[in-house]
Amino acid sequence: MAMPKINLSDCNLSEEEYALCKGILNSRTGELRASKPPVPRMIQTDERDQYGMRSYSYKNEADADAGRTAYIWRMVAFMVSPISQHHCMPCTADFDVPGHYDERRAETKRLDLIVDKVVNSISPREWHGVARWAGLIG
């Protein structure tokens, strides 16, 4: 089964959002990538959050954007991919997003708005992950 085609121009994305979403697509076919986009290694910082946990960050903003793109891909794949392994609950998807726990939570809320724009541009007939989970949650 083929991955869904995604036309990012149908998603009503800002320039920044578009730049983050380009990496979720197979550049040859325009379909959702079959695997997570590459993410540079994060660097542990000496900073600690209010819970005493160390923070991880990337060496530059381009690498941080690659982590954000990986999060967007994972959440879109969870909802629309025909590959059943992508339908597993994405509990660690935010690990690629930089920052302390609270910062990652705030950033993922912003990224979830982008995910919604992308998923809503795809026909509900191709929401394979959503169909698989339908009726199980709620």
Return the half-sphere exposure (C-beta side, CA atoms, 13 A cut-off) of residue 84.
1
pLDDT (0 to 100) of residue 116: 98
pLDDT (0 to 100) of residue 136: 60
- Residue-wise pLDDT tens digits, 48-104: 877 887 778 899 999 999 999 999 999 999 999 999 999 998 999 999 998 888 889
3-state secondary structure at position 14:
coil
Q: Is 118 a residue whose pLDDT tops 80?
A: yes
Neighbours of 107 (CB within 10 A): 18
- Residue-wise pLDDT tens digits, 12-53: 999 999 999 999 999 999 999 999 999 999 988 787 877 887
If we measure between CA atoms, which residue out of 99, 131, 132, 93 comes closest to residue 115?
93
pLDDT (0 to 100) of residue 135: 66
* CA dist., res. 72 & res. 102, Å (int): 18
Q: Is 137 a residue whose pLDDT tops 70?
A: no
Per-residue exposure over 7-32, b if at least 16 CB sit within 10 Å of its own CB, e if not: ebeebebeeebeebbebbbeeeeeeb
Q: Alpha-carbon dihedral of residues 34, 127, 17, 45, nearest 10 degrees?
A: -60
pLDDT (0 to 100) of residue 53: 79
